[in-house]
């Protein structure tokens, strides 16, 4: 998608690979919407840390980052012998896999890369195959999102009000996005509509990322508090809900997504509103048999107890822009420059917090799942598994064995 920086618009992908430097390049999503910056990661350990620290986040984006990270680690190997090489590759794989346990895309992506590597007869051939497979995974992610947009655009009518939760936009993928793909496709077809972006506490990806995306693409939108969605549904001001997913179980149709998604699905059912989940094929987990088996990431309590933001100068009387370039930090007797990124403690100093990053929505609350192959009822995924990529996604490469 295009990003306007300094008055100039230019297309970007969330993740790319610099082969000359063997570096993964990412948009640092922690700094948005206030600063747009590309970071370059020089080894697979840095790449895994970037996934863990949410420099990059979102199912497809961390999948592509993991694929590139595995290729990056493989290309860094300087020894000889396939046995040693595969032991090294297994270390890279496990390091990246551990970075974000709930999402299935990183594992799907790296399994694809490992399967492709097996065709090589030498270390050098397998290194080349690794980066080629990673590039193909990234390109396929874009194609899948474009197809999601094509199928999902028909759900969006002129003048609709749409609710989305968290960020399943192009920042969450290599490009285009999943939940936003139907919106971008409908916009391209000339339809006007309005989007309510849940703020999505505690990391506020709805207010920082989705709103930034929609603003960049000139789509009408407003940020709402997470708890405001029910009120808007009750008053008839929401017509459709579209969210993404970090793991969708192909056997049951259960959907793991950002914490708060389940609550929105319950509200949508109460108010008889359509609730759709948009996913690429790499997000489908064909192995797990129950949503209770999905590992739910428990994140640091600091995300709940406070928030990151940018310092603004004091506002002029009656609102408007900051009146000066600095302001005092409350209770500290210090002055901070406007634009400085700071963490502010909000919660009671003596209290701890519980911070599950995801929840699981049961299939009976989901109207349909928008995929690159079409829109399916959650209970129909397994019956249509061949059409949805099974078993080609079930790579069984044993990394400890030399191919």
| Residue positions annotated with a catalytic role | 246
Taking alpha carbons only, the member of 23, 39, 28 closest to residue 75 is 23
| Residue 169 to residue 207: CA distance in whole angstroms | 12
User: 357 near 258, Cβ under 8 Å?
Assistant: yes
- 356, 296 contact by CB (below 8 A): yes
Helices (H) and strands (E) in the chain, counts: 11, 20
CA distance 364 to 163: 19
CA 198 to CA 226: how far, in whole Å? 5
Q: Taking a C-beta distance cutoff of 8 angstroms, is the pair 117, 123 a contact?
A: no
Rg (CA), the chain: 22
Task: Name, in order, each residue with C-beta under 8 angstroms of 218's C-beta and a sequence gap of 6 or more.
Answer: none
b or e along 267-291 (b: 16 or more beta carbons within 10 Å of the residue's beta carbon)?
bbeebebebbbbbbbbbbbbebeeb
Nearest to 192 by CA among 221, 228, 215: 221
Separation CA 369–CA 266 (nearest Å): 16
Label the pairing between strands 326-329 and 358-361.
Answer: unpaired
With a CB cutoff of 8 Å and minimum separation 6, the contacts of 386 are: none
With a CB cutoff of 8 Å and minimum separation 6, the contacts of 159 are: 192, 193
Quick check: 166 and 243 in contact, CB under 8 A? yes
Three-class SS state of 172: helix
DSSP, collapsed to helix, strand or coil, labels residue 58 as: coil
Q: Which residues pair with 310 in a beta bridge?
A: 341
């Amino acid at each position: 998608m295009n990003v306007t920086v300094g008055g100039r618009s230019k297309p970007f992908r969330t993740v790319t690979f610099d082969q000359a430097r063997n570096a993964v390049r990412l948009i640092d999503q922690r700094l948005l919407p206030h600063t747009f910056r590309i970071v370059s990661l020089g080894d697979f350990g840095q790449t895994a840390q970037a996934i863990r620290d949410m420099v990059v986040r979102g199912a497809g984006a961390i999948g592509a980052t993991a694929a590139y990270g595995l290729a990056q680690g493989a290309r860094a190997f300087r020894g000889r012998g396939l046995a040693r090489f595969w032991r090294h590759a297994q270390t890279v794989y496990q390091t990246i896999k551990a970075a974000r346990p709930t999402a299935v895309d990183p594992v799907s992506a790296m399994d694809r890369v490992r399967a492709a590597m097996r065709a090589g007869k030498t270390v050098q051939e397998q290194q080349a195959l690794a980066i080629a497979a990673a590039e193909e995974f990234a390109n396929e992610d874009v194609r899948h999102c474009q197809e999601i947009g094509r199928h999902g655009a028909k759900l969006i009518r002129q003048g609709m009000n749409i609710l989305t939760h968290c960020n399943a936009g192009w920042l969450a993928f290599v490009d285009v996005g999943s939940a936003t793909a139907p919106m971008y496709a409908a916009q391209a077809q000339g339809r006007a509509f309005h989007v309510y972006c849940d703020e999505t506490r505690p990391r506020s990806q709805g207010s920082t990322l989705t709103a930034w995306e929609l603003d960049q693409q000139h789509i009408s939108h407003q940020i709402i508090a997470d708890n405001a969605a029910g009120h808007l549904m009750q008053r008839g001001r929401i017509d459709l809900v579209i969210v993404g997913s970090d793991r969708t179980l192909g056997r049951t149709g259960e959907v793991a997504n950002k914490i708060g998604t389940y609550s929105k699905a319950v509200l949508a059912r109460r108010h008889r509103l359509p609730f759709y989940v948009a996913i690429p094929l790499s997000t489908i987990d064909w192995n797990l048999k129950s949503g209770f088996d999905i590992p739910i990431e428990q994140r640091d309590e600091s995300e709940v107890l406070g928030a990151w933001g940018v310092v603004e100068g004091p506002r002029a009387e009656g609102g408007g822009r900051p009146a000066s370039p600095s302001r005092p930090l409350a209770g500290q007797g210090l002055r901070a420059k406007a634009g400085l990124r700071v963490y502010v403690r909000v919660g009671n100093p003596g209290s701890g917090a519980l911070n599950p990053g995801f929840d699981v929505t049961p299939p009976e609350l989901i109207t349909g799942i928008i995929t690159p192959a079409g829109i399916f009822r959650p209970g129909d995924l397994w019956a249509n598994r061949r059409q949805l990529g099974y078993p080609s996604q079930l790579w069984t490469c044993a990394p400890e064995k030399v191919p």
